[in-house]
């Protein structure tokens, strides 16, 4: 029962959480957090590396001790050290640490003073007023915790897109290896590249003698078989996600892929269009009366109703059908269009890799440039740089650039927007930089008027180029700040400040809805990874997904431009 990458990363993160609550050595905590990050970001299943007998300590930051623990998890699905620690510290406290504003010190205080072990315990304490009796827990803090708990508990569980990828990838490989299987593809919100995924809908075609259905339910990550049939089976995996597998005939595969990709609203609109032509569409094909006239491919289906192919990311009933009929579908941006990354961190602050390593990793991706934007001094938790330290980094970047003609490291910073809207570093420093990225990192609970005013005020600084992760949301963890985004779009467009589509899978901020609204308001837009390691640069594809869902073309994203064009467009 091999554990997948997401399961390994989760166990290491939980162990690090409990160590932190115990006030363990910070370097030890960081080692486990780093291991979780490395495993979670790996493009290959770590279980495959173990099966091949590969030396895991060749992974960055993974020494022999951690490599041994990974092998144990892969083979057993357990981390014995975590189980031992949970006898001293309740494992459920790790879940509390995922709530905004609840770090290890506060969780430890809640546990020791009020014996709070779960979300339910915390909710009761917040509602009864017990929290306000604790040091550091005022009425505002209690209200924020209640709001976070309500946000956390509403609606069915949805998985971040990147987590769904980590789950789907080994499963698809397993299915493709079954005798007789021809085609395998994930449909649904996963294929539309939505920020979160509720479940996985997988379609296969196979030969008559294939045992794909029987072997699917025996996949080693299956926790429960909900149903099993000749053409459809449903299981729940150990991580809680539900997977539906449908076996389709080749002649219907395109229609099934279209039907189960959705969205529901898009499908209804296309079915209405078909009905107007005397046609009927279902998962088996397009029919005129009893005769199937299309369905082998999606292109066939669209053609039958008089439409060009509509990319899955656009299928949300947001005007794509009208645009298709008018021949005005956008030529969507692709990952290969990206010429560089404008938001990345090094180990000078809270990143994991050196300046040189980050630059080399970006060059290896075929980029022309990479902006190094380490945090400014206000963000002490990230060991932010003061003016003197930033000037030293500028000199280091100049030396690195002197050795290269075909690649450029852009000098930058991710500077905090302070509560009054001023920036955390003086203009004398900011004017020396190629890229100034500003972000809200604290005082997230300000009321709408104050939060909006704070952000608008930051645009007055002529050296500011990009507003990073504008809504500050963390998917499934922290909601958007209360701010008037329409005012922010208008002001950013007027000031020439670009808004970021942050490609970090935890953020995807701006999301597709905000991105399209910002674009329609005339805003400049960039896609950046906010990478804190060389592997983090690989997240660019998730930002491109959001841009595609927002109908963006390559020329509408600044860092799809070559270096000189980028610098010209960034300039205010």
CATH code of the domain in which 263 resides? 3.30.210.10
Do 386 and 403 sit in the same domain of this protein? yes
Instruction: Give yes or no: residues 140 and 181 share one domain.
Output: no
Claim to verify: residue 301 and residue 321 sit in the same structural domain: yes
Are residue 256 and residue 345 in the same domain, yes or no?
no
Query: Is 386 in the same domain as 509?
Result: yes
Tokens of 541: 């594809």
Burial of residue 151 (CB within 10 Å: 0-12, 13-18, 19+) is middle
H-only helix segments in 250-331: 253-261, 264-276, 298-304, 320-325
Helix or strand holding residue 412 (H, E): strand 408-416
Whether residues 217 and 272 share a domain: the answer is: no
**C-alpha 407 chain-centroid distance:** 27
Query: What is the CA angle 511-512-513, rounded to 5?
Result: 95
* CATH code for the domain of 236: 3.30.460.10
The whole-number pLDDT of residue 154 equals 53
| In a shared domain, residues 459 and 559 | yes
Residues 145 and 182 in one domain: no
Domain contains 440: yes
Residue-level pLDDT at 193 = 98
Residues 450-453: contacts with CB under 8 Å, at least 24 apart: 451/481, 451/482, 451/483, 452/483, 452/484, 452/487, 452/488, 453/421
The reported pLDDT for the residue numbered 142 is 82
Residue 476, judged by CB atoms within 10 A of its CB (0-12, 13-18, 19+), counts as middle
Same-domain pairing of 363 and 467: yes
- Shared domain check, 320 and 384: no
Q: Which of 265, 298, 325 is the last residue of a domain?
A: 325
Torsion of CA 25, 30, 36, 42, to 10 degrees: -150
> Based on the domain organization, do 305 and 376 belong to the same domain?
no
Residue with tokens 């837009």: 525
Specify the number of domains making up the chain. Answer: 4
Nearest alpha-carbon partner for 323 in 308, 333, 301, 334 = 308
Alpha-carbon distance of 546 to 25, in angstroms, equals 39
pLDDT given at position 206 = 97
Q: What is the CATH number of the domain that holds 430?
A: 3.20.20.140
500 is in which domain, residue-wise? Answer: 335-570
pLDDT of residue 155: 54
pLDDT at 55: 84
Question: What is the 3-state secondary structure of 150-208?
Answer: HHHHCCCCCEEHHHHHHHHHHHHHHHHCCCCEEEEEECHHHHCCCCEECCEEEEEEECC
In sequence order, what DSSP letters do the residues of 43-64 get, joined into one string? SS-HHHHHHTT--GGGSTT--H
Contact by Cβ (8 Å): 458, 486: no
Choosing from 153, 168, 199, the residue where a domain stops is: 153
Q: pLDDT at position 1, please?
A: 53
Q: Is residue 229 part of a domain?
A: yes
pLDDT digits (tens, 9 = 90+) for 374-410: 999 887 777 899 999 999 999 999 999 999 989 999 9
- Regions of the chain short of the pLDDT cut 70: 1-2, 43, 151-156
Per-residue buried b or exposed e for 556-570, using 16+ beta carbons within 10 Å of the residue's own CB = bbbbbbebeebbeeb
Which pLDDT belongs to residue 153?
59
63 within domain boundaries: yes
The answer to whether residue 269 sits within a structural domain is yes
Nearest to 523 by CA among 480, 449, 467: 467
Distance separating alpha carbons of residues 497 and 417, to the nearest angstrom: 14
74 plus 210 within the same structural domain:
no
Among 119, 153, 187, residue at a domain's last position: 153
Does 149 map to a domain?
Answer: yes
Contact by Cβ (8 Å): 472, 509: yes
Is 330 among the domain residues? no
The model carries a pTM of: 0.86
C-alpha atoms less than 13 angstroms from C-alpha of 560 in its C-beta half-sphere:
20
């Amino acid at each position: 029962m091999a554990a997948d990458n997401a399961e390994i990363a989760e166990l290491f993160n939980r162990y690090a959480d409990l160590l932190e609550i115990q006030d363990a050595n910070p370097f030890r905590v960081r080692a486990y957090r780093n291991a979780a990050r490395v495993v979670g970001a790996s493009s290959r299943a770590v279980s495959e590396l173990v099966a091949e007998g590969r030396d895991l300590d060749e992974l960055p930051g993974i020494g022999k001790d951690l490599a041994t623990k990974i092998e144990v998890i892969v083979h057993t699905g357990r981390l014995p050290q975590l189980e031992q620690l949970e006898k001293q510290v309740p494992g459920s406290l790790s879940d509390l640490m995922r709530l905004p504003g609840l770090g290890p010190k506060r969780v430890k205080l809640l546990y020791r003073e009020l014996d709070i072990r779960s979300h339910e315990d915390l909710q009761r304490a917040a509602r009864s007023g017990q929290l306000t009796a604790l040091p550091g827990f005022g009425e505002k803090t209690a209200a924020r915790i209640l709001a976070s708990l309500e946000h956390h508990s509403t609606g069915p569980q949805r998985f971040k897109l990147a987590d769904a990828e980590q789950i789907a990838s080994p499963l698809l490989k397993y299915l493709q290896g079954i005798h007789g299987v021809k085609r395998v593809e994930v449909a649904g919100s996963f294929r539309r590249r939505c920020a979160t995924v509720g479940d996985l809908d997988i379609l296969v075609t196979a030969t008559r003698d294939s045992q794909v259905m029987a072997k699917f339910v025996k996949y080693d990550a299956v926790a429960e078989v909900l149903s099993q049939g000749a053409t459809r089976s449903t299981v729940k995996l150990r991580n809680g996600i539900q997977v539906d597998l449908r076996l389709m005939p080749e002649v219907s595969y395109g229609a099934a892929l279209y039907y189960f990709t959705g969205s529901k609203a898009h499908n209804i609109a296309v079915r209405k269009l078909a009905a107007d032509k005397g046609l009927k569409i279902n998962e088996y094909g397009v029919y005129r009366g009893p005769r199937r006239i299309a369905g082998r491919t999606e292109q066939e289906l669209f053609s039958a109703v008089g439409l060009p192919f509509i990319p899955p990311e656009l299928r949300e009933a947001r005007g794509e059908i009208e645009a298709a009929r008018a021949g005005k579908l956008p030529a969507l941006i692709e990952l290969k269009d990206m010429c560089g990354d404008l938001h990345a961190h090094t180990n000078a602050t809270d990143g994991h890799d050196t300046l040189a390593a980050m630059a080399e990793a970006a060059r290896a991706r075929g980029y022309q440039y990479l902006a190094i934007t380490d945090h400014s001094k206000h963000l002490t938790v990230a060991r932010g740089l003061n003016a003197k330290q930033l000037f030293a980094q500028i000199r280091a970047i100049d030396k690195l650039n002197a050795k290269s003609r075909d690649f450029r490291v852009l000098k930058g910073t991710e500077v905090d927007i302070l509560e009054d809207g001023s920036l955390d570093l003086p203009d004398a420093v900011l004017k020396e930089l190629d890229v100034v990225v500003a972000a809200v990192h604290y005082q997230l609970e300000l009321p709408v008027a104050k939060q909006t005013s704070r952000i608008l005020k930051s645009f007055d600084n002529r050296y500011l180029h990009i507003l990073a992760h504008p809504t500050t949301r963390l998917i499934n963890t922290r909601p958007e700040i209360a701010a008037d985004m329409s005012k922010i779009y208008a002001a950013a467009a007027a000031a020439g400040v670009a808004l970021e589509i942050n490609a970090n899978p935890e953020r995807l901020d701006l999301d597709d809805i905000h991105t399209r609204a910002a674009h329609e308001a005339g805003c400049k837009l960039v896609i950046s990874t906010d990478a804190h390691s060389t592997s983090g640069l690989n997240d660019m594809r998730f930002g491109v997904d959001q841009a595609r869902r927002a109908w963006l073309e390559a020329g509408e994203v600044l860092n799809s431009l070559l270096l000189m064009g980028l610098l010209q467009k960034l300039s205010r």
